[in-house]
Amino acid sequence: MTSPWTAGQVASVASDTASLVAARKLVASWTLTGCNGVALWGLCQGSGSKPYQAVVDLTGPAYKCSCPSRKFPCKHALGLLVEWSEGRVPDAADPIDFASQWLLSRQEKPERATERAVALTKPASDSATAQKRAERVASGLVELDLWITDQIRGGLASMDTSWTSFDAIAGRMVDAQVPGAATALRALAAVVASTENWPQRVLDEFSRLHLLIVAHQRLDELPGSLQDSVRSHLGYPVSTDSVMESAPVRERWMVLSSSTSEDNRLFTRIVWLLGRNTGRWAQLLDFSHGSANFSGTTPPVGFLIDAELHFYPGAAPLRARMGTTFGEPEPFTTMPVGGIDTALQNYTDALAADPWLRSWPAVIGAVVPSVDSGNWFFVDGEGAAIAAAGDPEVMWTLSAVSGGHPVTVCGTWNAVAYTPVSVFTGGRVIML
């Protein structure tokens, strides 16, 4: 039987402070709540005639609610956790019907995912099919390089920067089985629409893609790990089995962040882990189509887990899959940190190994968030500053948590700005 979460554990999975505040206001809205040790469920009466159906799978954790919110978890799932944390959810042997159906679908999903993965990896094992794919990729990259050259020769000022234009070349890259390049091209449309100095950003991305194309054309001349990086950035598939067969890295991993996003019904969960002893970073990346039903399980943010991770191949390996775990997760109240200089040096080292990296994670300690003319910075005790980026609501929340005092921030640096994802203060991790 899983013990009820503490208030800190509930707060650690909240997408933002506003959701947690709203969740605590639902105390009088719940009916038919229950818990069987692995899941929570209940009905929450909203403004409509039908109550919202909320379920929490504690083994994920994973969340399901009939409300239209795009936050994960929504305020109803958070409210259910609050009810459980404060002892207002009774024990029950069997889940209510809607909860039972969803939980059953989650049990079946890993089996279907495995079947799909096997089906996808079988063709790659055939040398003729693999050769055909390589030829298609090479042909597509030649077309992309010609397109980039045409844009630069004609001048970026006269370039068609509409979403349709970028989507057209991205679609051709999808046909050529180069999804990594397609994603980068589609992202440029948003850069043009939202960035004042978009020509510089577009030129930077064109340079990055050109370097990637040249590297793929000379793939056999590169070291093995850099070959893996090139394939990864272009979007070559890597089978889960091959990753799990790699040598594991056992560490006491601190869970510093967990976030879920959605784009056109594709849900993405990103979990950041930091090795307490080695300072090594790991990213657990999971996808789910249609709903946020992820098959993998991760401990709550703010907990330490003794586990083996299997890293995807690359010159600067970061993405990993969870392997064998040892013992139960336990909370941590202290954290080894570095300063701004350490964060910049670690990014430089990672970029030297893999020149196509866009960002690198870092924990920066003893900094105070500061705003000047609408621009945010993190300033350390010696007056050194690093530019910060993020949603204004997130940055003001971080400033409120700090209260003008130094805090430890977890985030990513991309050579332009540092984007915070969580803050460590008072012995606990707070998601932003």
> 391-407 pLDDT, tens per residue?
889 999 999 999 999 99
Q: Is residue 118 part of a domain?
A: no
Q: Which of 234, 265, 281 is the endpoint of a domain?
A: 234
Q: Is residue 242 part of a domain?
A: no
Q: Is residue 1 part of a domain?
A: no
Q: Are residues 287 and 225 in the same domain?
A: no
Q: With a cut of 70, say whether residue 112 has pLDDT above it.
A: no
Q: With a cut of 50, say whether residue 113 has pLDDT above it.
A: no
Q: Are residues 350 and 310 in the same domain?
A: no
**Contact predicate 309/255, CB 8 Å:** no
CA atoms within 13 A on the CB side of 18: 6
CATH at 397: 2.40.50
So what's the pLDDT on residue 219? 93
Q: What is the mean pLDDT of residues 288-307?
A: 82
Q: What is the mean pLDDT of residues 69-91?
A: 89
So what's the pLDDT on residue 109? 54
Number of domains in the chain: 4
Domain that holds residue 252: 247-331
Percent of the chain with pLDDT over 90: 59
Instruction: Select the more confidently predicted residue: 133 or 35.
Output: 35
Q: Which of 106, 139, 162 is the endpoint of a domain?
A: 106
So what's the pLDDT on residue 1? 53
Q: With a cut of 50, say whether residue 116 has pLDDT above it.
A: no
Q: Are residues 315 and 270 in the same domain?
A: yes
Q: With a cut of 50, say whether residue 124 has pLDDT above it.
A: no
Q: Are residues 71 and 170 in the same domain?
A: no
| Phi, psi values for residue 332, rounded to 5° | -120, 145
Q: Which of 282, 302, 331 is the endpoint of a domain?
A: 331
**Contact predicate 109/52, CB 8 Å:** no
Q: Are residues 143 and 222 in the same domain?
A: yes
N-terminal to C-terminal alpha carbon distance within the chain: 30
Q: What is the mean pLDDT of residues 142-171?
A: 92
- Please state, in angstroms and as integers, the Cα–Cα distance from residue 261 to each residue in 22, 140, 179, 270, 345, following that order: 20, 30, 19, 9, 29
Q: What is the mean pLDDT of residues 181-195?
A: 90
- 226-267 pLDDT, tens per residue? 999 999 999 988 888 899 999 999 999 999 999 888 776 778
In the block, residue with structure tokens 């600067």:
316
Q: Is residue 346 part of a domain?
A: yes
Q: What is the mean pLDDT of residues 401-422?
A: 94
Q: With a cut of 50, say whether residue 92 has pLDDT above it.
A: yes
Q: How far apart are CA 48 and CA 384, in angstroms?
A: 52
Q: Are residues 94 and 160 in the same domain?
A: no
Band (pLDDT 50/70/90 cuts) for residue 117 is very low
In the block, residue with structure tokens 């409300």:
67
Q: Is residue 112 part of a domain?
A: no
Q: Are residues 302 and 371 in the same domain?
A: no
So what's the pLDDT on residue 121? 41
Q: Are residues 381 and 305 in the same domain?
A: no
Q: With a cut of 50, say whether residue 120 has pLDDT above it.
A: no
Q: Are residues 408 and 379 in the same domain?
A: yes
**Contact predicate 421/272, CB 8 Å:** yes
Q: How far apart are CA 295 and CA 357, in angstroms?
A: 27
Q: With a cut of 80, say whether residue 16 has pLDDT above it.
A: no
So what's the pLDDT on residue 53? 94
Q: Are residues 229 and 316 in the same domain?
A: no
**Contact predicate 231/220, CB 8 Å:** no
Q: Is residue 258 part of a domain?
A: yes
Q: Are residues 212 and 282 in the same domain?
A: no
Q: How far apart are CA 141 and CA 207, in angstroms?
A: 14
Q: With a cut of 90, say whether residue 127 has pLDDT above it.
A: no
Q: Is residue 420 part of a domain?
A: yes
Q: With a cut of 50, say whether residue 324 has pLDDT above it.
A: yes
Q: Is residue 2 part of a domain?
A: no
Q: How far apart are CA 169 and CA 144, in angstroms?
A: 8
pTM of structure: 0.72
Q: Are residues 316 and 347 in the same domain?
A: no
Q: Calculate the average pLDDT of the chain.
A: 88
